[in-house]
Amino acid sequence: MNHTAPREESVSPKITATARAERASKIYRSGEAAVKALDDVTIDIPAGRLTAIMGPSGAGKSTLMHCLAGLDTLTSGKVFIGDVELGSLSDSQLTLLRRERIGFIFQAFNLLPTLSALENIVLPAALSGRKPDQGWLDTVVETVRLGDRLSHRPSELSGGQQQRVAVARALASKPQIIFADEPTGNLDSRSSGEVLGFLRRAVTELEQTIVMVTHDPVAAGHADTIVFLADGRIVDTMDDPTAQKVLDRLKAFGE
Ligand SMILES: Nc1ncnc2c1ncn2[C@@H]1O[C@H](COP(=O)(O)OP(=O)(O)OP(=O)(O)O)[C@@H](O)[C@H]1O
């Protein structure tokens, strides 16, 4: 007899996407006109990686990010954070999920001017009534090298330092995923390089997951993967990019 025992199912966990869009479409209507900002996009954002989203102006980058982050809703299709489908949540559940599981970094820093750097960093945790994990907070502050600036108000900090506060704020609650919308758009190249270095460390050393919309090939060169959008569709991806590879690809697109 040559019975082969059925193999046991692999017990290793499946690599699950941290965020996911499934056949996502978004149509903006104004009067008679309709703009298809997202056209049937399916994408997995892998955990523990820095993913950049690139593409020409109007390609749908912000729309995709806002829909993935639950800041905007789809016309059709689904988005998930972990295994939670955002369309199944009430407004208050969605607000809670955003507060507890998602970090945001915006081009304009969005810090509160009357609060110190440290107060800004712990604000999201304070709003949800949680005490931040002090060990993690120390690691985050150390990662963005803000130790000697924590009592300063935003107006007393340079643009680069303000964005480092915003990076620390996004990391402080150890979110499942961080969305960064042109995080270096307002920075000179030196500060931009520093902020990108911190985002990279957050992924490589602190095992965070970051999605970043950017126009800048240098910024995108720090990513693990780039997703290229055009006319609301994914038209290409690139793993292990460098700024030069990105420039070459953009030239090939005729940008
Ligand atoms: N609130 C809105 N109402 C109507 N149309 C919109 C709205 N938001 C975006 N759009 C349109 O949807 C399309 C995609 O916009 P989106 O902002 O996602 O592009 P983008 O790739 O982020 O562009 P950019 O690089 O210029 O920021 C564009 O044609 C835009 O004009």
Q: Which tokens in the block code for residue 156? A: 């007393």
Q: Which tokens in the block code for residue 173? A: 């609650």
Q: Is the CB of 203 under 6 A from ligand 1?
A: no
pLDDT of amino acid 16: 53
Write the residue with the smallest CA distance to atom 28 of ligand 1: 58
ipTM over 0.95: yes
pLDDT tens for each residue of the chain, 255 residues long: 444 444 444 443 444 568 999 999 999 998 889 999 999 999 999 999 999 999 999 999 999 999 999 999 999 999 999 999 999 999 999 998 998 889 999 988 899 999 999 999 998 888 877 777 899 899 888 888 888 899 999 999 999 999 999 999 999 988 999 999 999 998 889 888 988 998 998 999 989 999 999 999 999 999 999 999 999 999 999 999 999 999 999 888 776
pTM: 0.89
Provide the H-helix boundaries in 37-133.
Answer: 61-68, 91-101, 117-127
Ligand 1 centroid to Cα of residue 101, in Å, is 25
| Residues 184/210, Cβ–Cβ less than 8 Å | no
Among the listed residues 144, 142, 147, the one whose alpha carbon sits nearest the alpha carbon of residue 194 = 144
Q: Is the CB of 37 under 6 A from ligand 1?
A: yes
pLDDT of amino acid 22: 97
Domain covering 47-73+89-252 assigned CATH 3.40.50.720 in the classification: no
pLDDT of amino acid 1: 47
pLDDT of amino acid 100: 85
Helix/strand/coil percentages in the chain, nearest 5: 35, 25, 35
| Residues 18/46, Cβ–Cβ less than 8 Å | yes
Q: Which tokens in the block code for residue 235? A: 């038209």
